[in-house]
Structure 1
Amino acid sequence: MNVDHRHERDIARELGSPAPYDPTWLNGQGRALDVDSSAVARLYGAAQDGCDVCREDLLEQLGRDPGQVAALALWACTHVMEVFNDLPMEMLERGDPAFRQLARAYSNSTFQHGFEVRELTDLHEVCQRLDRHALQPAAERALQVLIAEPADPVLFGSLTGAYTPGDEEDAQDYSLTRQFVGSEVVITLTPQVD
């Protein structure tokens, strides 16, 4: 089998969102932190291509640098936010502890600065405080989030549990359905008729 180890892909088209090689992706913040956006993009490509050798090499390389890990976590959280319009509780409360801290920092940054700002510096500050051995597992979790299907219950939980119908103020019960259309989730609430 002949493997192209460049792992070049049209990530923007695949994910329908900004990609690391897009100069506007980090609003110029990446240059200040020396983020190697092409290496981040190659890591994604290697994971999607199933090339474990390149994936592990790039994770080891990027997982030593707080700026690279922050950029990868920012990309993963931004992608999830675009799909779900929020970060699922599973990302904030379960899984790798270092990645959870980065997801919380992303959530706080988004709340403070707005979604379009993409404050890489907030995530970088968290990475700077992490134990250096925690960086690579955080990068691995961010990569898992990027390549996962939106229906992955381990990473994103059960979407049907996000809404509890029939609260005290609303006597009307609803049935919830979810449908995956490409990389987006369509959730429909339909009033139940007695």
Structure 2
Amino acid sequence: MVITTDHPHRERAEQRRKFVPPSRLHLPDVPDRAEDALLDQLLYATADGCQDCRSMLLDRFAQDAGATHKLVDWACWIATEVYGGLPAELVDEAATADTLFRPSLTFCRLAAEYRARGRTSSGMYTAREPAQRREAADTAVTLVAGLQRCWTDFLYR
């Protein structure tokens, strides 16, 4: 399912992109899906600062455990590459107090699992309520967009 708007996001976002969009990335243990285009749209809308599209797409993610799984693992993979591992500020709820970026509690718990095992499991997403999946997706895409703009300074500025 692709959500269309009367305005594009992809063209501008691709000019600034540092990361391969999720639709083109194969993550072990996370199957590729027809809905992966939604992941790209969410990244582009976030990078462009379009809150209307972002909100609409996050609402869609709240209903899709598989898409949220891929998005969170993608964000954790990128953060691991950028920082040489997931920093405490992304996995430890107490450590987030030292940053301007405040990852959600759900994201921290999923990221802690990713750090421990190198991935998260599908069951971790299906067991969560849609509101928790939405907040995890919101944190994940905000993290990737922030790293794209500010690189390692994103967590510590």
**2:58 touches 2:137 (CA, 8 Å); kept in 1?**
yes
**1:35 touches 1:68 (CA, 8 Å); kept in 2?**
no
2:77 partner amino acid: T
Which residue in 2 is equivalent to 1:138?
136
How much does 1:132 deviate?
Answer: 2.8
- Richer in helix (by share): 2
- Richer in strand (by share): 1
Cα shift readout 1:97-139 (whole Å, capped 9, x = no counterpart): 11011101211222xxxxxxxx4xx342211222332111111
Cα shift readout 1:4-23 (whole Å, capped 9, x = no counterpart): 634225759822x432121x
Cα shift readout 1:8-47 (whole Å, capped 9, x = no counterpart): 25759822x432121x52358323xx46111101100001
**1:102 touches 1:123 (CA, 8 Å); kept in 2?**
no
Which residue in 1 is equivalent to 2:96?
none
Structure-2 change in CA distance of 1:12 and 1:75 (3 Å): farther
After TM superposition, the structure 1 = structure 2 runs for residues 12-161 of structure 1, keeping only pairs within 5 Å, are: 14-15=17-18, 17-22=19-24, 24-27=25-28, 29-31=30-32, 34=33, 36-94=35-93, 95-110=103-118, 119=119, 122-148=120-146, 149=150, 150-152=152-154, 156-157=155-156
TM-score, length-scaled by structure 1: 0.63
Root-mean-square deviation (CA, aligned residues, Å) is 2.5
How much does 1:72 deviate?
Answer: 0.8
Structure 2 portions without partners, runs of 5+: 94-102
Identity rate, percent: 24
For residue 100 of structure 1, give the secondary structure of its aligned residue in structure 2. Answer: helix
How much does 1:68 deviate?
Answer: 1.0
Structure-2 change in CA distance of 1:70 and 1:4 (3 Å): same
Aligned residues: 139
